[in-house]
Structure 1
Amino acid sequence: MKKILLVLMLGAAGYASAAANMIPLWPEGVPGQRNIGPEKVGDGYTSNVSEPALTMIGPAVDHPNGTAVIICPGGGYVRMATAREGDQYATWLSTLGVTSFVLKYRMQEYGHPAPLQDVLRAVRMLRSRAAEFGIRPDRIGVMGSSAGGHLAASAGTLFDNPAGRTGAALDNVSARPDFLMLMYPVITMQDPAAHAGSRKALLGAAPSAETLNLMSLEKQVTPATPPTLLIHTQADTAVPVENSILFYQALTRNKVPAEMYLLEHGGHGMGMRDGLGTSSLWPRRAEEWLRDRGLLNQAK
């Protein structure tokens, strides 16, 4: 618990220089760029994104382990909880020797497939420039919360889908993450467990049956989906726990290594909040999972 509290206290201080570590995702020009006005940043949230980017947060220990995590904050594809579900996670991961990259992705102003293109571009960019960032190309994971969890799971299931390609040279680099960490994720786009707000923001008011099926990610799991950690709570009344259960069942059917913690306390968007009983200890469980998979071992 002391480590978690330390992470929370360090969060704000560690991000004074975050802007200096900003990496544009599309330096050659954003695909289908639109004039949507200025980006909005404040109170720990980011919205109206038109220039996707990664913010790099390096390891806080002397011996980085070469593992990288792309972090997708949640917010219903309307905004991103950058502080609570981006910066805090990155600060915690830094204490484990992990290099984090908080993803700023396009949302409702663009809709599908723009967010998918952004997260897959992030994986491809890190893999192609792994030596530059001091990471291993075979240790690139994606972590996401809520709608950011949907985006992370999209990366793990749709990494070869044509919708995620733009014709750029980097399309030739593998976009498959090496692991996923999903916090109270949106998974399905079909009732009764769907989160209606995320569905509308991403797919519009009247998506086709084909699109609903494609973006219901429990239906897109294959044996190639990467190992996955799922964390969700019974108390989540915004995104039903059935979302994680559906994904876990699909992973199990396809013999994909998976671990799931279904906890009692903690509403939606709990982040790394203290005072939620065993739910506040999820970072310990996640650290154990990362360690068990060898992802915290020192790079060789």
Structure 2
Amino acid sequence: MASIDRRQALVATFAASIAGRLPAAPTPARVEPDETIALWPGLAPGMPATPPVETIEERSKDAQAPDRAVRGIVRPRLAVFRPATPNGTAVLVAPGGGYRWVVVDKEGYEIGRWLAARGYTVFVLFYRLPGDGWAAGPDVALSDAQRAMRLIRQRAASYGLRTDRVAAMGFSAGGHVCGDLATRYDARVYVPVDAADALSARPDVAAPIYAVQSMAAPMAHKGSRDLLIGADASPARERAHTPAHNVTRATPPCFMVHAEDDDVVPIDNTLAMRAALKAAGVAVETHLFAEGGHGFGLRRAQGRPVAIWPELFHRWAQTHGLG
């Protein structure tokens, strides 16, 4: 833990030294995607007998800072943010929402525009939710994430992308989707439907941000755990859906951020994932901040050292040839 403490101190010093030189992470006005791509031809696989009804709840009273949460997703899809000048790298973004819904503005569209302004082509994932009765059960969001990665690679040429420069990023429960994808990208969780499914679903790098990771107490986020694997899940089922237990040498390099005062998803989730990555010999960069709470994204990070996390990701991605 001493090395992490030293790193945290260095990051805090770095944050303070550049606070006056780096532009603050903005809170964009209402931003909408440039286009939308359906993940599946026709109906998504494993439709429940009673399909969910997609609903959008606007949780903000500020028209300049929307906070939409989407539940009952029946049409999994990608919302695309195109840069003016593509840098050849795609980022698949999985917003959080505790597996109850998908929080599309704070952890999707805002980071989509931020990354697109720096040359990334961003695909925000509207993934199906495990509590809605899909046949894939706890693997339903992973099914959508795998399919999304394959579609991005299939369409890479039309977006000016390279197939070996596709990143994944996720927040909170979306961070679990990201971690699951990074460690189980080759798990057979759906029946192939077309030529895209012959392509790799492995991210070239992954960025689980204040991520749900463990499905076992005391680390587990109870709401996410109960919806994903059930309140009475066995220890074996918990392990099967805990990314740290599925890390291998083939897991892609990871970039992780967490705040120590996160009272929703304990920071131990990130520390356990880091330990598993280090043990497997996988490159990992971890940034821990004293303050930030949970769900800071861009807008809630402003004015604090944690606000530099997107710039840190951008610089880290560049060191891996993706920026």
Q: TM-score, normalised by structure 2?
A: 0.85
**Are 2:121 and 1:99 equivalent residues in the alignment?**
yes
Q: Which amino acid aligns with 1:90?
A: G
> Which residue of the partner structure matches residue 76 of structure 1?
98
SS of residue in 2 equivalent to 1:120: helix
- 1:230-249 equivalence runs, <5 A: 230-249=256-275
Superposed CA deviations along residues 49-83 of structure 1, whole A, max 9, x for unmatched, are: 111000100014xx311100010000110011110
Per-residue deviation, 1:42 = 2.8
Q: CA deviation at 1:213?
A: 1.1
Task: Return the offset for 1:210.
Answer: 2.8
In the alignment, structure 1 residue 141 sits paired with structure 2 residue 167:
yes
2:279 equivalent among 253, 263, 284 = 253
Q: Distance in 1 between matches of 2:192 and 2:82?
A: 31
1:282 to 295, 298, 309: 309
- The alpha-carbon deviation at position 275 of structure 1 amounts to 4.1
Give the letter aligned to residue 49 of structure 1: I
User: Is contact 2:213-2:270 (8 Å) kept?
Assistant: yes
Distance of 1:274 and 1:31 partners within structure 2: 38
Say which SS state the counterpart of residue 46 (structure 1) adopts: strand
1:1-300 superposed matches below 5 A: 3-5=23-25, 7-9=26-28, 11-12=29-30, 14-15=31-32, 18=33, 21-34=35-48, 35-43=50-58, 44-60=68-84, 63-107=85-129, 108-109=131-132, 110=134, 111-162=137-188, 164-169=189-194, 170-272=196-298, 273-296=300-323
Post-superposition shift, 1:23? 0.4
SS at structure 2 position matched to 1:283: helix
Query: What whole-Å deviation, never above 9, does each CA across 1:65-105 have from its counterpart, x for those lacking one?
Result: 11000100001100111100001110110111000000000
Matched residues in 2 for 1:105 and 1:294: separation?
Answer: 28
The higher radius of gyration belongs to: 2
Deviations 1:85-137 (A, max 9, x none): 00111011011100000000001213411111000000011111211222111
Tell me if structure 2 keeps the 8 A contact 1:266–1:276: no
- Say whether the 8 Å CA contact 1:70–1:143 is kept in structure 2: yes
Unaligned residue ranges in structure 2 (runs of 5+): 1-18, 59-67
**Structure-2 change in CA distance of 1:198 and 1:37 (3 Å):** closer
Letter in 2 for 1:167: P
Contact kept? 2:178, 2:208, Cα under 8 Å: yes
C-alpha offsets along residues 188-215 of structure 1, whole Å, 9 cap, x if unaligned? Answer: 1011111111011111222233321111
**How many angstroms apart in 1 are the aligned matches of 2:77 and 2:215?**
26
Contact in 2 for aligned 1:124/1:171 (Cα 8 Å): yes
Contact 1:149/1:186 (8 A) holds in 2: yes
Report if aligned partners of 1:116, 1:154 keep a CA contact under 8 Å in 2: yes
The answer on whether the counterparts of 1:233 and 1:263 sit within 8 Å (CA) in structure 2 is yes
CA contact (8 A) 1:183 1:232 kept: yes
Count of residues in Structure 1 that have an aligned counterpart in Structure 2 = 287
Task: Using the TM superposition, give the Cα deviation of residue 276 of structure 1 relative to its aligned residue in structure 2, in angstroms.
Answer: 4.9
Question: CA 1:28–1:253 in 2, change beyond 3 Å: closer, same or farther?
Answer: same
| Contact 2:96-2:173 within 8 A present in 1 as well | yes
Amino acid in structure 1 at the alignment position of 2:304: G
Q: Is the 8 A contact 1:117 1:166 kept in 2?
A: no
**Structure 1 stretches lacking a partner, 5+ long:** none
Asked if the contact 2:292/2:301 (under 8 Å) is kept, the reply is: no
Secondary structure, aligned partner of 1:113: helix
How high is the sequence identity, in percent, across the aligned residues?
36
Taking only aligned residues, the RMSD between alpha carbons, in angstroms, comes to 1.6
When residues 3 and 59 of structure 1 are mapped into structure 2, their CA distance, relative to the original with a 3 A threshold, is farther
8 Å Cα contact 1:265-1:276 kept in structure 2:
no
Note the C-alpha offset of 1:140: 0.7
Q: Report the alpha carbon displacement of residue 41 of structure 1 after superposing the two structures with TM.
A: 1.2
Q: Distance in 2 between matches of 1:150 and 1:270?
A: 17
Corresponding residue SS for 1:59 = coil
